[in-house]
Amino acid sequence: MIPFGTRLREAMDTRGPLCVGIDPHASLLADWGLNDDIAGLERFTRITVEALADRVAMLKPQSAFFERFGSRGVAVLEKAVEEARAAGTLVLMDAKRGDIGSTMAAYAATYLDPASPLFSDAVTVSPYLGFGSLRPALDLAAKSGSGVFVLALTSNPEGAEVQRSTAADGRPLAQLMLDHMAAENADASPMGSVGAVVGATLGDAGVNLDINGPLLAPGIGAQGATPADLPGVFGSAVRNVVPSVSRGVLRHGPDVSALREAAARYADEVRAAIPQA
């Protein structure tokens, strides 16, 4: 398969870089007039995929909101991944996995092996068990043409006490992780398949973000950041930014056109903030 980084660059260039998260919060199900049960989850997910999969660069289902319904929730997630990909969008599974390497291999098989029912274009992972623990995911992604988004500086204020600390070799910890990502992407063109997650809420990120890979920027909308904040956070790396919004779009449902209009408004704001995007 064509490498994920190449496919994402193409999607960003043709559809614009916006990613919309599928986060079926109990409160959103209620706002949409749906029950907090498997039928409500199924309907919420189907409407969101129908509204957006033919127009945004990437959809990002948040696995926790499906897992909380057990195996039937995961079945809804499997179907959503399949339908979204069939409609032409890339799917980033937001699972934020991270474990010792031998277990990481099983997580990698879950999301990055084309034979798996949950196979996605990319998955989010945490490097804070050591970047090397991610090796099975990085290797399988390279083999299957999928991608891995690695947490660097998360959008939540609590992240700083870990991520802004200093690594054993004296580098800022987040910079150490970003340098590992840059090494993975070194020879890729137009960009690599290992992305970084950097919150849009951070102000100046204060690290070197030139990883030759995509930069997922969550935190826009409900967490208070706006597309206008992106150049200040990402500086010269802003061309590789994939701004991500969940509740900021989803709160406009269940009307399909209202969801589309909300995503289009964010896309316009992104275009205004990042003219080269």
Ligand X SMILES: O=C(O)c1cc(=O)[nH]c(=O)n1[C@@H]1O[C@H](COP(=O)(O)O)[C@@H](O)[C@H]1O
Which residues of the chain form contacts with ligand X (CB under 6 A)?
21, 23, 62, 94, 124, 154-155, 197, 199, 218-219, 221-223, 244-248
Closest CB to ligand X among residues 169, 228: 228
Shortest Cβ distance from residue 171 to ligand X (Å)?
A: 20
Closest CB to ligand X among residues 120, 244: 244
Closest CB to ligand X among residues 97, 180: 97
DSSP codes of every residue in the chain: ---HHHHHHHHHHHH-S-EEEE---HHHHHHTT--SSHHHHHHHHHHHHHHHTTTSSEEEEBTHHHHTTTHHHHHHHHHHHHHHHHTT-EEEEEEEE---HHHHHHHHHHHH-TTSTT--SEEEE--TT-GGGGHHHHHHHHHHT-EEEEEEE-SSGGGHHHHTSB-TTSSBHHHHHHHHHHHHTTT-SS--SEEEEE-TTSSS--S----SS-EEE--BSTTSB-GGGHHHHHGGGGGGEEEEESHHHHTTTT-HHHHHHHHHHHHHHHHHH-TT-
Closest CB to ligand X among residues 16, 218: 218
Shortest Cβ distance from residue 68 to ligand X (Å)?
A: 13
Closest CB to ligand X among residues 155, 193: 155
Residue 228's identity, in one-letter code, is A
Going by C-alpha positions, the residue among 262, 227, 261 that lies closest to residue 244 is: 227
Shortest Cβ distance from residue 155 to ligand X (Å)?
A: 4
Shortest Cβ distance from residue 197 to ligand X (Å)?
A: 5
- The answer to whether 79 is a known catalytic residue is no
**Catalytic residue selected from 60, 79, 96, 143:** 96
Closest CB to ligand X among residues 211, 275: 211
CA pseudo-torsion sign 180, 231, 48, 33: positive
Shortest Cβ distance from residue 223 to ligand X (Å)?
A: 4
- Cα–Cα distance for residue pair 115/108, rounded to 1 Å: 12
Shortest Cβ distance from residue 127 to ligand X (Å)?
A: 12
List the catalytic residues.
96
